[in-house]
Amino acid sequence: MGSGKMDGPSAPAIRRDPYEVLSVSRDSSDQEIKSAYRKLALKYHPDKNASNPEASELFKEVAFSYSILSDPEKRRQYDAAGFEALEHDAMDMEIDLSNLGTVNTMFAALFSKLGVPIKTSVSATVLEDALNGTVTIRPLPLGTSFSGKVDKQSAQFFGVTIDEQQAQSGIVIRVSSSAQSKFKLLYFEQETNGGYGLALQEDSEKTGKVTSAGMYFLHFQVYRMDSAVNALAMAKDPDAAFFKRLEGLQPCEVSELKPGTHIFAVYGDNFFKPASYAIEAMCANSYEDTSKELMEIEAQILAKRNYLRQFETEYRKVDDLLNQRDQIHSSFTTMRAVANSSATTINGGSSSSSRTRTDDISIDSQSEDGSLDGKDKSNKKKWFNLNLGRSDKKL
């Protein structure tokens, strides 16, 4: 698991142990890994280190390490066999649109319009302002909603205050855009310095005629769908695309909230224009039946994903069996025996025997088609010529 060169535009020139890069132990939780990544990404972000090219490489290394340790499957593969077990072409990074420039942003917007998944990150300015506690927070009482617009690569913050009973019942925060704007729903946790550190992030997805994102703190495991992961899995193995539909299903890191004030934000993720949105906060005590239904559906979807994985394995076994059957079918042939016999004739000199056998095969084949043997064909030819000759004489 030592250092070395590796391919891929999203990978650093020299690779180090991702646990070492993020300064976390091998038994660190997902939340500890995410917290370490956010701090280091903010420290080395190109926006804050424009005159320091070394910081840019460190930022790339931090992002690459996090792309491994934040994915349960990639982390398992790395823990088992190091970098060699990882598929480098599947590694992807988030990009900060505020750091792209106009031309690159136009290309990113074009690819996104064509359906290519573009993963974006929250700008360093927003994260730094939140950590410093210099953001403006608007109260969002439970049972209310707020509609507004947020500039691209900017965020509007909201404070949701809940009591003990509401925390036990569960909380739901949802954002939607009838204009189909791209945005992120963010959740921040209180830091020791009084600021706020990014803890959760949900990208908007198109659902019907709107784009939406939600966070569900309902005391049971809720999953989110990462469409970028799905697209990468399908592109890598188009023949098995049907089985990859649920590969982007990932567990949400936080499933419940404690009493107090919690900070959420809507981040504008459009490429060029502000994002219009409506955010609402709800207590789940008015949606008990809906919450139970969601829990059942989540369990069923997870079971279906496991079933699809098992079925994919069986499906590939069927392909192998069909290929073996085709090979067996091709074994039923006389052409190989004829070729071997001809080779024996050339080497052994028994040419007359070979010709005799070949002639026999030719005659047998003609007989099976219903034609006459050689003698009959000769008589038929004479009889035909005879009639033709008589006919000419009459003329």
CATH (domain of 306) = 2.60.120.380
Indicate if the pLDDT at residue 383 is higher than 60: no
What whole-number percentage of the chain has pLDDT above 90? 25
pLDDT on residue 262: 96
pLDDT digits (tens, 9 = 90+) for 137-177: 999 999 999 999 999 889 999 999 999 999 999 999 999 99
Q: Are residues 206 and 286 in the same domain?
A: yes
- φ/ψ of 54, rounded to 5, equals -65, -35
pLDDT on residue 185: 95
CATH (domain of 41) = 1.10.287.110
pLDDT on residue 227: 63
DSSP 175-229: EEETT---EEEEEEEE-TTS-EEEEEEEE-EEETTEEEEEEEESSS--EEE-HHH
Q: In what order do the strands lie in the sheet with 155-162?
A: 137-139, 155-162, 260-268, 183-190, 196-203
Highest mean pLDDT out of 10-14, 93-97, 151-155, 391-395: 151-155
Buried b or exposed e, range 331-343, using 16+ CB within 10 angstroms: eeeeeeeeeebee
Q: Are residues 135 and 246 in the same domain?
A: yes
pLDDT average, residue stretch 230-239: 60
Least confident residue range of 8-12, 57-61, 164-168, 305-309: 8-12
Least confident residue range of 120-134, 271-285, 336-350: 336-350
Q: Are residues 200 and 279 in the same domain?
A: yes
pLDDT average, residue stretch 115-137: 79
Q: Are residues 75 and 135 in the same domain?
A: no
Q: Is 47 inside a domain boundary?
A: yes
Q: Are residues 202 and 76 in the same domain?
A: no
pTM of the predicted model as reported, rounded to 2 decimal places: 0.58
pLDDT on residue 173: 96
Q: Is 173 inside a domain boundary?
A: yes
Cα dist from 153 to 15, 103, 105, 127, 280, whole Å: 30, 17, 12, 11, 21
- How many domains does the chain fold into? 2
Least confident residue range of 111-115, 175-179, 231-235, 305-309: 111-115
For residue 154, give the 3-state DSSP assignment.
coil
Indicate if the pLDDT at residue 91 is higher than 60: no
What whole-number percentage of the chain has pLDDT above 70? 66
pLDDT on residue 234: 57
Highest mean pLDDT out of 124-128, 240-244, 248-252: 124-128
Q: Are residues 74 and 183 in the same domain?
A: no
Q: Are residues 209 and 62 in the same domain?
A: no
pLDDT average, residue stretch 358-385: 46
Structure-token pair, residue 270? 């459009």
Indicate if the pLDDT at residue 290 is higher than 70: yes
Indicate if the pLDDT at residue 275 is higher than 70: yes
In whole angstroms, what is the distance from residue 289 CA to residue 283 CA? 13
Q: Is 329 inside a domain boundary?
A: no
281 compared with 356, residue with greater pLDDT: 281
Long-range contacts of 103-107 (CB under 8 A, 24+ apart): 105/271, 105/272, 106/271
pLDDT on residue 366: 47
Show the domain range for 33. 18-93
pLDDT on residue 242: 66
Q: Are residues 77 and 170 in the same domain?
A: no
Cα dist from 17 to 54, 62, 64, whole Å: 18, 11, 11
Least confident residue range of 103-107, 194-198, 306-310: 103-107
pLDDT average, residue stretch 36-58: 81
Q: Is 28 inside a domain boundary?
A: yes
Structure-token pair, residue 262? 């919690």
319, 345, 371: which is the final residue of a domain? 319
Q: Are residues 146 and 84 in the same domain?
A: no
Q: Is 131 inside a domain boundary?
A: yes
Please answer whether residues 184 and 97 qualify as being in contact, where contact means their C-beta atoms are separated by less than 8 angstroms: no
Contacts of 19 (CB under 8 A, 6+ apart): 25, 26, 28, 65, 69
Q: Are residues 44 and 148 in the same domain?
A: no
Q: What is the DSSP letter of 95?
A: B
Label residue 232 by pLDDT band (50, 70, 90): low
263, 296, 319: which is the final residue of a domain? 319
- The residue ranges of DSSP E strands in 269-369, in sequence order, are 275-283
CA-based angle 45:46:52, to the nearest 5? 110
135 compared with 241, residue with greater pLDDT: 135
Nearest to 202 by CA among 176, 179, 184: 184
Q: Is 115 inside a domain boundary?
A: no
Label residue 188 by pLDDT band (50, 70, 90): very high
Q: Are residues 57 and 175 in the same domain?
A: no
Q: Is 309 inside a domain boundary?
A: yes
Nearest to 295 by CA among 202, 215, 214, 222: 222
Q: Are residues 194 and 269 in the same domain?
A: yes
217 compared with 301, residue with greater pLDDT: 217
pLDDT on residue 233: 57
Indicate if the pLDDT at residue 1 is higher than 50: no
Q: Is 362 inside a domain boundary?
A: no
Highest mean pLDDT out of 1-10, 37-46, 239-248, 274-283: 274-283
pLDDT on residue 252: 78
208 compared with 245, residue with greater pLDDT: 208
